Amino acid sequence: MASPGGQGSGALSTRGGVARRMKWALELSLGNTRGRGDRQSNQGDVMYPIGYSDKPVPDTSIQETDKNLVEKRCWDVALGPLKQIPMNLFIMYMSGNTISIFPIMMVCMMAWRPIQALMSMSATFKLLENSNQQWLQGLVYSVGNLLGSALAIYKCQSMGLLPTHSSDWLAFIEPPQRVEIMGGGMVL
């Protein structure tokens, strides 16, 4: 299978050379069909040896060791969010508490990723379908994500982005109604 770079250079060479003068040309040599191949790679398949397939052929034979592998893989998926937490902690520490564009972006990412993961729980459950401990893994996965979002909330709190203080509601306090009417002044 030709590398895209090689195909590109092939195309370049034809463009500079023969093809410019003719409206169309049919070439039977291998080099030039590769040149076409960059656009329509399916056509290139014709030239491969018989029995060659581009796609890997799935191994359909199920073995006993694979069960363990699936289990391991599922645990990897379930523990993924928990593993990210130390990393997030480090990022949090590094970004500091000042409000500027990069810390804000990071906080948004940190908050958004667990929420996104929690919203696509069904897809994850489908992944974990084959496992025996599907429910435990699901629980671990959601706990990890919840921890992640809690961490994001904590970060928001420490950055002062959460309306938890009375000062955050100051703008909504209405001026008090006055009961007495008063006026007067110096004697004219």
Partner 1 sequence: MAKLVPLLAVFFYLVCVSEAVFEDQVGKFDWRRQYVGKVLFASFDSPSQSSKKLFVATDKNIFASLNSRTGDLFWRHVDKMGPEGAVDTLLVNAQDALMVIGDGRLLRSWDTNVGGLNWEVVLDTGSFQAACFVGIQDTVKHVAVLKKTAISLHYLSNGHQKWVENLPDSDTVKYQAVYSGGGEEVFVLGMVPHSHLTITVYSLEDGEIIRQRSVEAPWLSSVESSCVVVGRGVLMCVDNYTQALYTLAIQAEDSPQFRQVLLQVNGSRYLRNLVSPLYVHAFLKKDDSVGYRVLVQTEDHALTFIQQPGRVVWTREEALADVVTMEMVDLPLTGTQAELEGEFGKKADGLLPMVMKRLSSQVILLQAWMAHLWKLFYEARKPRSQIKNEVTIETLSRDEFNLQKMMVMVTASGKLFGIDSKSGTILWKHYLENVQPNAAFKLIVQRTTAHFPHPPQCTLLIKDKDTGLATLHVFNPIFGRKSQISLPALPRPILQSLLLPVIDQDYAKCLLLVDDQYKVTAFPSTKNVMQQLQEMASSIFFYLVDSEQGTLSGFRLRKDLSSELIWEVVLPTEVQKIVAVKGKRPSEHVHSQGRVMGDRSVLYKYLNPNLLAVVTESTDTHPERAFVGMFLVDGVTGRIIHEAVQRKARGPIHFVHSENWVVYEYWNTKSRRNEFSVLELFEGTELYNSTVFSSLDRPHLPQVLQQSYIFPSPITTMEATLTEKGITSRHLLVGLPSGAILSLPKMFLDPRRPEVVNEHSREENLIPYAPEMPIRTEWFINYNQTISRLKGIYTAPSGLESTCLVVAYGLDIYQTRVYPSKQFDVLKDDYDYVLISSVLFALFFATMISKRLAEVKLLNRAWR
In the complex, which residues of this chain contact partner 1 (CB under 8 A)? 15, 19, 23, 99, 159-163, 165-168, 170-171, 173-188
The residue among 64 and 180 lying less far from partner 1, judged by its C-beta, is: 180
Question: Minimum distance between the CB of residue 164 and partner 1, rounded to whole angstroms?
Answer: 8
Print burial letters for 109-138: b (CB count within 10 Å at least 16), e (below 16). Answer: ebbebbeebbeeeeebeeebeebeeeeebb
The residue among 94 and 187 lying less far from partner 1, judged by its C-beta, is: 187
Question: Minimum distance between the CB of residue 37 and partner 1, rounded to whole angstroms?
Answer: 14
Q: In a 10 Å sphere around its CB, with 0-12 CB exposed, 13-18 middle and 19+ buried, how is residue 141 labelled?
A: buried
* C-alpha pair distances (Å), 54 with each of 1, 37, 48, 57, 60: 9, 14, 10, 9, 18
The residue among 15 and 83 lying less far from partner 1, judged by its C-beta, is: 15
Tell me the two tokens of residue 148: 């992640």
**Residue indicated by tokens 């564009």:** 101
Nearest to 33, CA basis, from 50, 14, 16 = 14
Question: Minimum distance between the CB of residue 156 and partner 1, rounded to whole angstroms?
Answer: 10
Report yes or no: 110 and 152 within 8 Å, Cβ to Cβ.
yes
The residue among 62 and 173 lying less far from partner 1, judged by its C-beta, is: 173
Question: Minimum distance between the CB of residue 160 and partner 1, rounded to whole angstroms?
Answer: 5
Question: Minimum distance between the CB of residue 59 and partner 1, rounded to whole angstroms?
Answer: 40
The residue among 5 and 163 lying less far from partner 1, judged by its C-beta, is: 163
The residue among 18 and 139 lying less far from partner 1, judged by its C-beta, is: 18
Report yes or no: 43 and 37 within 8 Å, Cβ to Cβ.
yes
Question: Minimum distance between the CB of residue 8 and partner 1, rounded to whole angstroms?
Answer: 13
